[in-house]
């Protein structure tokens, strides 16, 4: 009997369907190994990832673990240069995509065949049985255990608490209770299931420990520490130049990692802080705001902490300049709302708004200069300019970082404060001048600013009843608070 290609294809399709049906029938609890992706062979593959091209112990570390013997893989963007004489059997996993090759990590099981993988710091020496002990700790630990750490060298690991607050772009470390770690301080070998490692969006990002701890916390993975240590190799002292080079590279890698992980502020266990967001020399963290809804709100996040800090600094600077010049100003709109609610900028706001008496403008030399037409940078690098959108003024954090304070000139007419430019926002309305007679001091953004008397009545006139008690995003038609 001759089989046509069409019949063959049909037979193939039927067999595949029968196989799928069989898998479904066996149910998820009892699914046979043949219906799942391969789980790998028992064992631990050593991955060497954190090392410097120009100064490393790669050959020694690889040789030590390869002699156990376990599979050893060197993962690097490209082959180390200058070349490293790797022992026989130790392979290189190039991570940088190359146009005529398959994507490097599309099929990690092609590179790592074992069920477990250990991320081993450069300069570590193998100890027979310790990788297996780590693996047993992982598999026999409490149900949430997905990560095991062991120290390298004579210093024990320090257990740290780690909390992530993605909405405010923050990672917060603390002193962990004994036995409960989310991260460790100190050089460590990290062991996890191969499958787990390669389900992470950044499986081999550097620095490896930070990248793994953060992604593990986001998934609720438990971390166990094994006290037994791997020895560290004795290495010649690093030259000052290489030390400097390594520090610089480490810093730029840390910045890249934080950008990838969406972290702009780390609060360390000792209270120190590390900032990764915008500064005076950089651009603002978010682009032009459309429909009063900045892009971070659409991404389910609030104002980056670096931006809030720069806004506070700009507001304090502008208020200082206005007060020194005798310009009467007051907290307006969302800024007054923030002052009334929490004495600060609303945590999702993107600018600061101040009203000013139009007739006072000439008293401030920077405002007068901006009104004359040209943007002007003051002595501290803040940029004052007339807004392109109408008769109001902006003071930017710097020429490159356009976080700003808006200054809205009002003038009295028959006991009512009015102005010439209206942007059509619901809160953009005239109000009785009596709110400014007198103005009153109010805590705002870490200093004291002047505000309309009876802030509540002023805010309810502008935003409607209950404005202080019922927070809402600037444009609920686009995105509402609590929608995430
Ligand atoms: Zn920023
Ligand atoms: Mg505003």
Contact (Cβ atoms closer than 8 angstroms) between residue 42 and residue 115: yes
Extended beta strands in 336-382, E state: 352-357, 376-377
What is the model's pLDDT at position 351? 97
Its pTM stands at 0.88
Separation of CA 378 and ligand 2 centre (Å):
23
Whether the pLDDT of residue 18 is over 70: the answer is no
* Cα 367 to averaged position of ligand 2 atoms, centre (Å): 19
Neighbours of 185 (CB within 10 A): 16
230-265 pLDDT per residue, tens: 999 998 889 999 999 999 999 999 999 999 999 999
Q: Count of residues for the chain?
A: 484
Q: What is the pLDDT of residues 122-144, one digit of tens each?
A: 999 999 999 999 999 999 989 99
pLDDT band at 22 (very low <50, low <70, confident <90, very high): very low
Digit-coded pLDDT (tens) for 364-406: 999 999 999 899 999 999 999 999 988 999 999 999 999 999 9
How far is ligand 2, taken at its centre, from the CA of residue 404, in Å?
10
In the chain, what are the domains? 32-225 (3.90.550.10), 295-483 (3.30.460)
> Which pLDDT belongs to residue 19?
47
Collapse the DSSP code of 461 into the 3-class scheme (helix H, G, I; strand E, B; otherwise coil) and give the result: helix
Q: What angle do CA 172, 176, 177 make, to 5 degrees?
A: 145
Q: Tell me the residues surrounding ligand 1 (ion) with CB < 5 Å.
A: 277-278, 285, 304, 306-307
222: pLDDT strictly greater than 80 = yes
Ligand 2 centroid distance, CA of 375 (Å): 21
* Ligand 2 centre distance from Cα of residue 482 (Å): 20
Give the angle 203-207-209 at the CA atoms, nearest 5°.
70
For the record, the structure tokens of 484 come out as 């995430």
Single out the residue of 264, 282, 275, 277 nearest to residue 402, CA to CA.
Answer: 282
Residue from 313, 344, 375, 361 nearest 444 by CA: 344
Per-residue pLDDT, 484? 81
CA–CA gap between residue 122 and residue 62 (Å, rounded)? 9
CA of 199 to the centre of ligand 1 (A): 30
> Which of 301, 307, 311 is CA-nearest to residue 168?
301
Distance of alpha carbon 446 from alpha carbon 312, whole angstroms: 7
Closest CA to 145 of 51, 57, 214, 216: 216
Distance, C-alpha 140 to centroid of its chain: 33
Give the pLDDT confidence of 35-92 residue by residue, as tens digits: 555 568 899 999 999 999 999 999 999 999 999 999 999 999 999 999 999 999 999 9
Q: Give the Å distance between the CA of 258 and the centre of ligand 1.
A: 13
Integer-rounded Cα Rg, in Å, for the chain is 30
- Asked whether the predicted pLDDT for residue 14 surpasses 60, the reply is no
Find the 284 Cα to ligand 2 centroid distance in Å.
16
The token duo for 408 is 């809205």
Q: CA torsion, points 245, 249, 255, 261, in degrees to nearest 10?
A: -160
CA end-to-end distance (rounded Å), the chain: 63
At 31, the pLDDT band (50, 70, 90 cuts) reads very low
Distance (Å) from CA 310 to ligand 1 centroid: 7
Region label for 72, one of left (φ > 0), alpha (ψ between -120 and 50) or beta (otherwise)? beta
Q: Which pLDDT score, from 0 to 100, does residue 133 have? A: 98
The answer to whether the CB of 358 falls within 8 A of the CB of 350 is no
**Closest Cα to residue 70, out of 54, 84, 91?**
91
């Amino acid at each position: 009997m001759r089989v046509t290609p069409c019949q063959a294809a049909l037979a193939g399709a039927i067999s595949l369907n029968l196989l799928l049906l069989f898998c479904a029938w066996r149910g998820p609890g009892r699914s046979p190994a043949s219906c799942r992706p391969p789980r790998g062979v028992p064992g631990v593959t050593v991955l060497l990832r954190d090392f410097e091209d120009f100064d490393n112990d790669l050959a020694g570390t690889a040789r030590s673990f390869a002699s156990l013997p376990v599979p050893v893989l060197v993962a690097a963007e490209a082959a180390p240069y200058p070349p490293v004489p790797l022992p026989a059997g130790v392979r290189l996993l190039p991570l940088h995509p190359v146009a005529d090759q398959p994507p490097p990590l599309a099929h990690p099981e092609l590179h790592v065949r074992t069920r477990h993988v250990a991320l081993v710091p450069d300069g570590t020496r193998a100890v027979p049985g310790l990788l297996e002990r780590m693996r047993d700790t992982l598999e026999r630990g409490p149900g949430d255990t997905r990560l095991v750490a062991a120290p390298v060298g004579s210093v024990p690991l320090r257990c740290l608490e780690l909390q992530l607050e993605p909405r405010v772009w923050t990672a917060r470390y603390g002193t962990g209770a004994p036995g409960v770690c989310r991260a460790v301080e100190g050089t460590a070998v990290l062991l996890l299931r191969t499958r787990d490692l390669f389900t992470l969006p950044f499986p081999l990002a550097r620095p490896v420990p930070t990248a793994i701890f953060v992604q593990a916390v986001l998934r609720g993975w438990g971390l166990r520490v094994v006290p037994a240590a791997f020895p560290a190799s004795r290495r010649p002292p690093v030259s000052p130049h290489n030390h400097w080079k390594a520090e610089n590279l480490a810093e730029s890698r840390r910045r890249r990692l934080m950008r990838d992980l969406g972290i702009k502020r780390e609060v360390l266990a000792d209270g120190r802080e590390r900032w990764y967001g915008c500064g005076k020399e950089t651009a603002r963290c978010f682009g032009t705001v459309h429909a009063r809804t900045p892009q971070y709100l659409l991404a389910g996040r609030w104002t980056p902490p670096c931006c809030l800090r720069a806004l506070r600094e700009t507001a304090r600077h502008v208020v200082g300049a206005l007060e020194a010049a005798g310009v009467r100003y007051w907290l307006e709109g969302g800024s007054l709302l923030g002052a009334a609610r929490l004495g600060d900028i609303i945590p999702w706001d993107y600018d600061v708004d101040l009203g000013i008496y139009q007739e006072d403008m000439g008293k401030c030399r920077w405002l007068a200069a901006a009104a004359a037409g040209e943007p002007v940078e003051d002595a501290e690098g803040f940029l004052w300019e007339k807004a392109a959108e109408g008769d109001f003024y902006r003071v930017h954090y710097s020429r490159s970082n356009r976080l700003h304070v808006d200054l809205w000139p009002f003038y009295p007419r028959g006991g009512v404060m009015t102005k010439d430019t209206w942007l059509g926002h619901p809160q953009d309305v005239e109000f009785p001048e009596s709110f400014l007679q007198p103005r009153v001091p109010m805590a705002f953004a870490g200093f004291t600013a002047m505000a309309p008397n009876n802030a509540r009545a002023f805010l309810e006139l502008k935003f409607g009843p209950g404005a202080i008690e019922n927070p809402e995003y600037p444009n609920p038609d686009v995105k509402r608070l609590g929608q995430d």
